[in-house]
Every structure is written in structure tokens, then in C-alpha cells.
Structure 1
Amino acid sequence: MTPENIIPVILWVYLGVISIVGFILPAVDKIKAQQGKWRISEKSLFIVSIIGGSVAMYISMRLFHHKTKHKRFMIGIPLIIVLQLAVVFAVWYFLLQK
């Protein structure tokens, strides 16, 4: 595999792993909340979203009805998604156009 080919593979694997983490964390946090146990911090949830798990986290939040009454999450996560899409578009437009 050439260096040009390995970078996209690494990127897709990273996005897959961080998406799985982003999907699982809200579900785990909901279970822990129901059991009255130690919770996953909101900061951790936002960090995972920012580093690439935002879409999966939003889907998980909606699916498991977790953090859906918190404006911070219902506005913050979609805003992160929009910002990430803007960055992807900017990178594509300015760096990858030939």
C-alpha cells in the first residue's frame, strides 16, 4: 500500500472507531444514570463529538432519548456537525481541488 492510499484508510478507520465510541457513550451514560452510578462527564461527551463522533452521538442521543432535554446538547451537537461539515468542505474546496 502506498502512502497516498494508506492515509484515507487510516482516516476511515479512525472515523469508524470514533463513531462507534460516540454511539456507545450516550447509551452507557443513560444506563449509569438509571442505575444511579458514576456518569460520563458532559465534557467527555463533547470532546468525543468534536474529534469526530458527533453524528453517531446525535443519532444515539435521539435513539436512546438521552440528553435530549438539554439545550446544550440539542444545540451543541448539531452545531458541531455543521462546523465539521464546513471544515470538510473547506479542506475539499481549497486543498483538494486541482
Structure 2
Amino acid sequence: MSFLFWYFPLINLVAFSIIGIDKQLAVKQIWRISERNLLFTSILGGTIGSGLAMLFFRHKTSKESFLLRFYGIVLIQILILFVLFYSGVIEY
């Protein structure tokens, strides 16, 4: 099977999980996972997992600076997919 077949579900599961863990840590008011690491999983392909976790756990949904960077990552990934699709690298 393809590497990407396993990679994307796994990275999205990791992204979902670490946002859930960060929410639990925030509630307990103890050491937190840095926003840099949360966003890094999105950059690696976990934007769907991160987005779903933000909605599910109601975490980071009101922090404008985080949302701006997150949606920037989403926009860049959409543009990359658009270019790859229309250049013929990705086929439908």
C-alpha cells in the first residue's frame, strides 16, 4: 500500500490527539503543548485532524493569532493541491 495511505490518517490522528491533550492540560492549568508544535502537525498534513479537534474540544477557537496562522496553513495547502492537480502531478 501507498505510504500516503497510512501517513495522512496517522498524522491527522496525532494532530487531533495533541490538541485534545493540550485542552486537558489547559483545564488542569499545568504545562502545555506549545502552539508551535500544534501548528507543526498541521503543516505536516494534520489540518483536518487539527480542525476537527478544535471544534470537538472547543480549544483554540477564540485565539485570533493561532487561528490566523492555522487558516494560513490551510490556505497554503489548498493552493499547493490546486497547483499539483492542475499541473498533472495529481490525477483525479
TM class, shorter-length? 0.7 to 0.9
Aligned length: 91
More helix by share: 1
Query: What does residue 70 of structure 2 align with?
Result: 77
Q: Which runs of 5+ in 2 are unaligned?
A: none
User: Whole-Å Cα distance in 2 between the matches of residues 86 and 26 of structure 1?
Assistant: 25
Q: Choose from 6, 10, 13 the match for 2:3.
A: 10
SS of residue matched to 2:87: helix
For 1:97 and 1:51, how far apart are their aligned partners in 2?
18
Partner SS, residue 96 of structure 1: coil
Q: CA deviation at 1:46?
A: 0.9
Unaligned runs of 5+ in 1: 1-5
1:96 is matched with 89
Root mean square deviation, CA, Å: 1.7
Q: TM-score, normalised by structure 1?
A: 0.82
Aligned sequence identity (%): 31
Which of 17, 30, 42 in structure 1 is aligned with 2:23? Answer: 30
Q: Partner of 1:3 in structure 2?
A: none
Work out which of the two has the higher radius of gyration on C-alpha atoms and give 1 or 2.
Answer: 1
Q: Which amino acid aligns with 2:9?
A: G
